[in-house]
A and B are shown apart, each in its own frame.
Chain A
Amino acid sequence: MSEAPFDAAAHVAHMERVLALPIAPQWRAGVEAHVVAIAGAAALVMSFPLADEVEHAFAFEAGVFGVDTSEGGR
């Protein structure tokens, strides 16, 4: 089954509700244009045949991170 064409306007409309993004009407066209560019980049990345065994490049080492926790998360 082939994927449906990416609908940037519908995607932005959905995600702004999910994340409560206050996108003003005059900003919408710009946001949608950037989403189209992002979708183009994603198409390039997602179409690459990457083996299942390739892991993230993250290197997490369990332990101390030097984070100041005295004020909650801030």
Chain B
Amino acid sequence: MKARELLSTSAVEIAAAVRAGTVTASAITDAALARIAALDGRLGAFTDVIAERARLEAATIDAARAGGAELPPLAGVPFAVKNLFDIEGLPTRAGSKINRDRPPAQGDAELVRRLSAAGAVLLGGLNMGEYAYDFTGENAHDGPSLCPHDPSRMAGGSSGGSGTAVASGMVPLALGSDTNGSIRVPSSFCGLFGLKPTYGRLTRAGTFPFVGSIDHLGPFARSPEDLALAFDLMQGPDPHDPHLAARPSLETSAALGRGLDGLRFGVLGDHFARNGHPEAFAAVAHVAAALGHPPMVVLPEAARARAAAFLITASEGASLHLERLRTRPADFDPDTRDRFFAGATIPAAWVDRAHRFRAWFAECAARLFESVDVVIAPATPCVAPKSGTKVLTLDGVDMPLRPNIGVFTQPISFIGLPVCAVPVWLPGAALPIGVQIIAAPWREDLVLRVAAALAAMGTVAAPVATGEKTW
């Protein structure tokens, strides 16, 4: 298989080919750089392409193989990261204009370093909503990241470029962040598998924060196998990240093939069965059918949990940016500036109560997971809206689009549950929509195992978008 064709397969297949010597890491890197050059002007995935470094890294891998060395598990796999991850030599812009004045990063973010150590080749930084306060993937400074399955539509955010780059076949693997849905929303709109691990599982060292109380990092891919491999390689302790939980690493790749036997499923009702368009619930029904039509279960007070996450996000995010709001307000993206200003005015008692409610809600989830192992819910209330859309209509009520795309993701990340977003293509649909596969804390193995089983059954799939000839 030629490098260009291999690029559209998976990270696992690319690494196997590089390790076997049927393709070189340099050829794969060049194929990825060529695809970025051909498509990115139309799709807006990358903000920085580091071609010289990528070619050097690829050449090093090829030289190691020529010298008889055993290659690591992601040898030659191209990847890219949301531009809130430090990349040595670049200012970490986090989607902003203001951060471009920061000095260049002295080194890579720890997760980048771990993937690089496993042989993956970093191609650059990816577009994102400013300071991650976003569900659209739109950015006033860098332009929008777009859905490769229909570039008139948004990629979703805030990790929009991550969704765009993987769905368009520029790279098979990308990293993003998820505070309230920013991995799961672009996964849904772009038709990808996205893993938001348990809160506290993966180190955040070397990344620009948004809301430290809720920020998560995780991978995007076109297969559950790639997610699991990347996740397994990124785990581990890190003395530079105090938020990291003292938990042993979890081996997920080995358990992927165990299927659905023995697992107890539920479909989240109540809040998760309203506030969405028909396709959101049809996607859940599609997955539920493959899981044997499990019963409806309720996670109580999810709407209140979403409200609490909303408060913490607005307040903590605004506090982080207070000095920038005071000194450079005109340099913010207008779509985030007003929200940050509003968040700065929140009384402490509201935030304090939200944090205490978080503990109560986490207990409710713990009770739920005594009777089920995995629950499912929509990832987004709709398919990717047209780029520039400002209003979302849910259950007959018009509301601002940007804060409300996360109606189903926000209660789940609020209490740090692990989630794999899986992509559904309903019969005859031109656009994908995601479903959240959710488990109890620290059980990423279960959400990935279920995603793998659904992919094996053909219930979910993440094909590379192939419409570029018609754009």
Chain B min CB distance to A13 (Å): 10
Chain B min CB distance to A47 (Å): 9
CA A14 – CA B353 in complex, angstroms? 22
CA A31 – CA B357 in complex, angstroms? 26
A56 touches which of B330, B338, B339, B355 (Cβ 8 Å): B355
Is B344 in contact with chain A by the CB < 8 A criterion? yes
- Residues on B with C-beta less than 8 A from A41 are 306-308, 310-311
Chain A min CB distance to B158 (Å): 17
Residues 24-74 (chain A) with a chain B CB within 8 angstroms: 24, 27, 30-35, 37-38, 40-42, 44-46, 48, 50, 54-58, 64-66
**A57 with B242, Cβ < 8 A, contacts A34-B342, A38-B311, A41-B307 known:** no
The proximity string for B residues 428-467 relative to A, scoring 1 for CB distances below 8 Å and 0 otherwise, is 0000000000000000000000000000000000000000
Is A15 in contact with chain B by the CB < 8 A criterion? yes
Could you tell me how many residues of chain B have their Cβ less than 8 Å away from some Cβ of chain A? Answer: 46
The proximity string for B residues 22-54 relative to A, scoring 1 for CB distances below 8 Å and 0 otherwise, is 000000000000000000000000000000000
A31 touches B314 (CB 8 A): no
**A22 with B307, Cβ < 8 A, contacts A46-B353, A50-B360 known:** no
A44 touches which of B241, B304, B326, B358 (Cβ 8 Å): B304
Residues 60-104 (chain B) with a chain A CB within 8 angstroms: none
A42 touches B311 (CB 8 A): yes
B338 touches A30 (CB 8 A): yes
Chain A min CB distance to B8 (Å): 40
A55 touches B326 (CB 8 A): no
**A48 with B301, Cβ < 8 A, contacts A30-B338, A65-B242 known:** yes
Is B294 in contact with chain A by the CB < 8 A criterion? no
**A21 with B325, Cβ < 8 A, contacts A37-B403, A57-B355 known:** yes
B355 touches A22 (CB 8 A): no
Chain B min CB distance to A64 (Å): 8
- Residues on B with C-beta less than 8 A from A16 are 345
**A38 with B310, Cβ < 8 A, contacts A54-B360, A57-B362 known:** yes
- Residues on A with C-beta less than 8 A from B341 are 12, 21, 23, 27, 31, 34
Chain B min CB distance to A27 (Å): 6
CA A67 – CA B355 in complex, angstroms? 24
CA A54 – CA B304 in complex, angstroms? 16
Is B322 in contact with chain A by the CB < 8 A criterion? yes
CA A45 – CA B361 in complex, angstroms? 12
Range, interface on chain A:
35 or more
Main secondary structure of the interface of B (DSSP, over half): helix
A19 touches B359 (CB 8 A): no
Is A20 in contact with chain B by the CB < 8 A criterion? yes
A35 touches B342 (CB 8 A): yes
- Residues on A with C-beta less than 8 A from B239 are 64, 66
Chain A min CB distance to B98 (Å): 14
Chain B min CB distance to A72 (Å): 14
Chain A min CB distance to B156 (Å): 21
- Residues on A with C-beta less than 8 A from B354 are 45
Residues 142-195 (chain B) with a chain A CB within 8 angstroms: none
CA A21 – CA B353 in complex, angstroms? 25
CA A44 – CA B271 in complex, angstroms? 14
CA A38 – CA B323 in complex, angstroms? 21
A35 touches which of B325, B345, B349, B362 (Cβ 8 Å): B345
CA A30 – CA B334 in complex, angstroms? 9
Chain A min CB distance to B404 (Å): 10
A58 touches B355 (CB 8 A): yes
Residues 289-338 (chain B) with a chain A CB within 8 angstroms: 301, 303-304, 306-308, 310-311, 314, 322, 325-326, 329-330, 334, 337-338
B308 touches A55 (CB 8 A): no
Is B2 in contact with chain A by the CB < 8 A criterion? no
Is B343 in contact with chain A by the CB < 8 A criterion? yes
CA A1 – CA B352 in complex, angstroms? 23
In the complex, which of the residues B239, B356, B358 has the most CB atoms of chain A within 10 Å of its own CB atom?
Answer: B356
A45 touches which of B334, B338, B353 (Cβ 8 Å): B353
**A42 with B403, Cβ < 8 A, contacts A56-B355, A57-B355, A57-B359 known:** no
A–B pairs, 22, beta carbons within 8 Å? A19-B345, A21-B326, A21-B345, A22-B326, A27-B341, A34-B341, A37-B400, A38-B310, A38-B343, A41-B307, A45-B304, A45-B307, A45-B353, A45-B354, A45-B357, A46-B349, A48-B304, A48-B357, A55-B356, A55-B359, A56-B359, A57-B415
- 10 further interface pairs, Cβ-Cβ under 8 Å (given A35-B342, A38-B314, A44-B304): A16-B345, A19-B344, A33-B338, A34-B314, A38-B346, A45-B354, A45-B357, A48-B353, A58-B213, A66-B240
Residues of A whose CB lies within 8 Å of any CB of B are 11-12, 15-16, 19-24, 27, 30-35, 37-38, 40-42, 44-46, 48, 50, 54-58, 64-66
